Amino acid sequence: MTRINATNDRLRDSAPSSSPGSAMTHVVTDNCINCKYTDCVEVCPVDCFHEGPNFLAIDPDECIDCTLCVAECPVNAIFPDMDVPAGQECFLAINAELAKEWPVIASKIPAMEGADLWDGMPHKLPLLDHGDGSKPAMATAGPSGAA
């Protein structure tokens, strides 16, 4: 729990801002956590999605900015890096780091149990499971306990 909190805090604090001229990418954001519908991976032409326990990450070095995945996500969790919602800029660093740690996913799998209930829950970042064996801070909380 402590390790995940520390990692999430470090990624939040180190979130880069996009600068003119830098390579663009798309970014998976907060609302994917505990939903993980995976419709997005079916349309990615370069297999840039990587799967963790309750979230997907886009590899910014592989993403070609085709935008196809944006419309496929039923919970509107994917944004261009220049258009990430305010307060979610940390997900640029989170995607970049976790994409290096997690395996590629290229085929759709069933959504997470209760995904429809997690859609739209705010501030799910403390629930992000890095898959390193430790539990997320709020692993036992259900959708009703996450608000």
- Residues forming contacts to ligand F3S in the complex (CB under 6 A) are 28, 32, 35-40, 56, 72-73, 75, 77-78
Please state the closest distance from residue 138 (CB atom) to ligand F3S, in A.
Answer: 18
Please state the closest distance from residue 41 (CB atom) to ligand F3S, in A.
Answer: 7
Label each residue of 64-85 as H, E or C: CCCCHHHHHCCCCCEEEHHHCC
Cβ proximity to ligand F3S, 6 vs 120, nearer residue: 120
In degrees rounded to 5, what are phi and psi of residue 27?
Answer: -135, 130
Beta-ladder partners of 51: 56
Q: Which of 131, 132, 126, 130 is nearest to 141 (CA)?
A: 126
Cβ proximity to ligand F3S, 3 vs 114, nearer residue: 114
Beta-ladder partners of 78: 28
Please state the closest distance from residue 57 (CB atom) to ligand F3S, in A.
Answer: 10
Cβ proximity to ligand F3S, 70 vs 137, nearer residue: 70
Q: Would you state the structure tokens that stand for residue 13, as one six-digit string?
A: 């604090």
Cβ proximity to ligand F3S, 56 vs 98, nearer residue: 56
Q: Which of 29, 46, 38 is nearest to 98 (CA)?
A: 29
Please state the closest distance from residue 2 (CB atom) to ligand F3S, in A.
Answer: 26
